[in-house]
Chains A and B, each alone.
Chain A
């Protein structure tokens, strides 16, 4: 697992670059790499803007199944998740596309939040069977066991 600390604004760039690189190594195609880095950019920015600081955890799902990225902060929490998930809703008059957009760009998204405690958002992107085949038939770039 790779951890990217979010403390300053440039850490948003670090988080999305690291996630994109991880996705590429796992065998995701360019469009999926872009989906992942865009979702990570949105959710890492949310940590920076609304919680001040936190962590982004990037990990591989079992058996090259895909990638999971978690965004963990101990900020104020999200008061009304349904409202926050609404397209275009923003408490700061921003675009309001981060949460709903990240959900559309990933295969699965979960939000755990408690007012005053913090927020954890987790997204997953799964490799399609065809990209798994590509990994199985090409030399494993990381030298680990390859898919059978």
Chain B
């Protein structure tokens, strides 16, 4: 799928995969955010892997876009994992004073994929426990 940002968004089963291979200018970054969110809601993807290994820098604008996208995705019940951030970029980001607070990161696509799977399993089991708890409450109510 090619969004308006012209950065391809690939769907693989329940996941979307985005690899940023060009130097993002600001409008393009905003457009990509919109494309990703649209694809999440269209495909009901449960997770998104965003590969930024080709990004040579992340400044406060791109950092904010990444963090915002992750936050908005989670309101659509989808999890975002940022993968492949170059060490030099990570160091610079900290010195710039930016924390990608709450954004999950992984070293590479493989680890990002595992992290997504794990996160979704945890989410599913949490969902189950709360369902079980509800069922128990209902039982308690019945035995009175």
Contact = CB atoms under 8 A, between A and B. Distances in A.
Contacts of B97: 87, 97, 100-101, 104
A45 B26 contact: yes
B60 A42 contact: yes
Interface stretch (A28-36, A52-60, A132-140): A28-36
Interface residues of B, number: 22
Given A9-B27, A17-B23, A45-B61, A38 B96 contact: yes
Interface string B92-116: 1001111000000000000000000
Interface string B54-79: 00111111011000000000000000
B89 interface: yes
Given A17-B23, A105-B95, A30 B64 contact: no
A104 B93 CA distance: 11
A98 interface: yes
A101 B25 contact: no
A18 B59 CA distance: 16
Given A38-B57, A94-B60, A98-B60, A105 B23 contact: no
Interface of B: 23, 25-27, 56-61, 63-64, 86-89, 91-92, 95-98
Closest 9 interchain pairs by CB?
Answer: A101-B96, A95-B60, A34-B88, A97-B60, A41-B59, A31-B88, A34-B92, A38-B57, A13-B25
